[in-house]
Amino acid sequence: MKNLDNLSRYKIFLAVAECKSISKAAAQLYISQPAVSITVKKLEENLNTTLFFRKSKGVELTEKGRQLYENTKKAFQILLDTEEHLKRSQNTGYLRIAASNVLCKHFLMPYLKEFTGHYPNTDLSITCTVSAK
């Protein structure tokens, strides 16, 4: 895998682009304004391009900066969506049931269908036994 040193820089880049201000992004991220400025400068050096037009009242994305912003935003959204999916898809438990054939067939099965709809990530173990005579 290629070096991902810029990953944290992209988070700062996104904040600056969305705030349209280095100082506002710094406040939002709880880091110093010089640290944000240096990070943006290093990202620009690594990419060999200018990402922002510096103005007296903030910053504005260049064309290349806009391209990077859109793709970085998409990439971070993909990561967030994947994290959420992984959290949801984790096993939420284990249910073990033992019941007679009659109870399983006529009583339990409709409830289990509903249960698995509500709790799809729960492992089920059902043991149906011959009813006592």
The reported pTM is 0.65
Question: Would you tell me how many other CB atoms lie within 10 Å of the CB of residue 50?
Answer: 13
pLDDT at 132: 59
Residue 3 pLDDT = 64
Summarize pLDDT for 65-91 with one digit per residue, the tens: 999 999 999 999 999 998 888 777 666
Average pLDDT over residues 1-20: 86
Whole-Å CA distances, 24 to 15, 27, 34, 127: 9, 5, 12, 61
Helices (H), 1-133: 7-19, 22-29, 33-47, 63-88, 101-103, 109-118
> CA 65 to CA 68: how far, in whole Å?
5
Q: What integer best gives the mean pLDDT of the chain?
A: 88
Classify 99 as helix, strand or coil.
strand
